[in-house]
Amino acid sequence: MEYKILNDGNKMPMAGFGVFQIDPKETQRCVEDAISVGYRSIDTAQAYFNEDSVGAAIKTVLAGGIKREELFITTKLWIDDAGEERALKAFDASMKKLGLDYLDLYLIHQPYSDTYGAWRAMSRLKKEGRIRSIGVSNFNPGQIMDFAINNEIKPAINQIECNPFHQQLAAQVNLKELGIAMQSWAPFGEGRKDMFSNAVLKTIAQKQGRSVAQVILRWLVQRGIVVIPKSVSKDRMAENFNIFDFSLSEADMRMITGLDDGASLFFDHGDPQIVKMLNNLSR
Ligand code: NAP
């Protein structure tokens, strides 16, 4: 495993396991499988409604001999709870579901509502040792610049969509300038636009004797971006984890750069209708 050293000195695995859209009934099995194939970093969220199933898996693996300090657990604060007092309560509720006494990484899930109030609460929890690292998700370059300038503690991470069709090259330059790590969500774009059948990716995969999924994850890791692929299949979890024993040439990297469409495969977080839709999700 390779690690990212965050701007607060904490160390995070470059590859973790994401549990978005995994049925809560299946999540415990998936997280246990993921940990059995080698993952130690797990990415969940209040809004995924499966924190308690992640917690059940954590309890099982800790009973099985894995040490708490080997794990790196991330959860996220939803829009409803973006505010100083509400964030403190939401954090306690997430911790209860996860069965943890400290969290490795807490993220503001969306750049809406009272994110500054939420950040004050998260900063306090970090200072108290209840959270090791704090960060944000889905902040655009302007938002994260403002946030970094106007807060005492800078976010350790910005978790944003990043895949071969939406490469976020400018966002990465901005985050590098700020000393904030970049993490990719939807590394496969959830398979949209036939990503797994893309001719360029398939050519590189065949040459390397690897799968398209492994080439995508390797490309991200070589860019210094932390990945959290999701899969319900134990074989695909293992495939997605085994990306540290090969590397892509500069020519391969350049070929993938050529696939960038510069647009989200999902939606634009700055679109007013999307802002309304995401805010309405919680009310
Ligand atoms: P993703 O990882 O890009 O794609 C998951 C899809 O790819 C699933 O359909 C999965 O199917 C398939 N897949 C996985 N490995 C494969 C392989 N080796 N070969 C072929 N197909 C494969 O999508 P995601 O789940 O949206 O993103 C990953 C994680 O990022 C999430 O789980 C979540 O933790 C995080 N996320 C965060 C945000 C945010 O707003 N912060 C938004 C979205 C996601 P199977 O399950 O059947 O294998």
pLDDT tens readout for residues 30-63: 999 999 999 999 999 999 999 999 999 999 999 9
Tokens representing 118 are 């939420």
pLDDT of residue 135: 98
pLDDT at 278 (0 to 100)? 95
Ligand 1 pocket member 53 (CB < 6 A): no
Q: For ligand 1, atom 20, name the residue with the nearest CA.
A: 213
Domain architecture of the chain: domains with CATH: 3-280 (3.20.20.100)
39 lines ligand 1 (CB under 6 A): no
Buried b (16+ CB within 10 A) or exposed e, 176-185: eebebbbbbb
pLDDT, tens digit, for every residue of 123-182?
999 999 999 999 999 999 999 999 999 999 999 999 999 999 999 999 999 999 999 999
- Beginning with the edge strand found earlier in the chain, give each strand of the sheet holding 72-77 in spatial order: 17-18, 41-43, 72-77, 103-108, 131-137, 157-161, 181-185, 226-227
Q: Please tell me the distance between residue 230's alpha carbon and the centre of ligand 1 in angstroms.
A: 4
The atom of ligand 1 lying closest to the CA of 190 is 4
**Does 236 contact ligand 1 (Cβ within 6 A)?**
yes
| Sign of the alpha-carbon dihedral angle for 255, 216, 163, 132 | negative
Q: Give the three-class secondary structure for 201.
A: helix
Please tell me the predicted confidence (pLDDT) of residue 42. 98
Which of 17, 20, 77, 79 gets mutated to test ligand 1 (max ligand atoms within 8 A of its CB)? 20
Which amino acid is it at 60?
Answer: T
Q: What sections of 12-135 are H helices per DSSP?
A: 24-37, 51-63, 84-98, 115-127
C-alpha 26 to ligand 1 mean position (Å): 15
The pLDDT value recorded for residue 282 is 73
Q: CA 77: distance to chain centroid?
A: 13
CA 212 to ligand 1 center in whole angstroms? 14
Quick count: other Cβ atoms within 10 Å of Cβ 31?
A: 25
What residues pair up with 163 in beta bridges, in sequence order? Answer: 166
Task: Give the CA diameter of the chain.
Answer: 54
Q: Ligand 1 pocket, 43 CB below 6 A?
A: yes
pLDDT band at 283 (very low <50, low <70, confident <90, very high): low
Dihedral sign (CA 145, 108, 165, 236)? positive
Residues with a catalytic annotation lie at 48
pLDDT at site 131: 98
Q: Kindly state the helix (H) or strand (E) to which residue 181 belongs, with its residue range.
A: strand 181-185
Q: How many CA within 13 A on the CB side of residue 152?
A: 9
Please determine, for residue 208, whether its predicted confidence score (pLDDT) is greater than 90: yes
CA 136 to ligand 1 centroid distance, Å: 19
State pTM to two decimals.
Answer: 0.98
Distance, in Å, from the CA atom of 123 to the CA atom of 118, rounded to the nearest integer, reads: 9
| Per-residue pLDDT reduced to its tens digit, 58-97 | 999 999 999 999 999 999 999 999 999 999 999 999 999 9
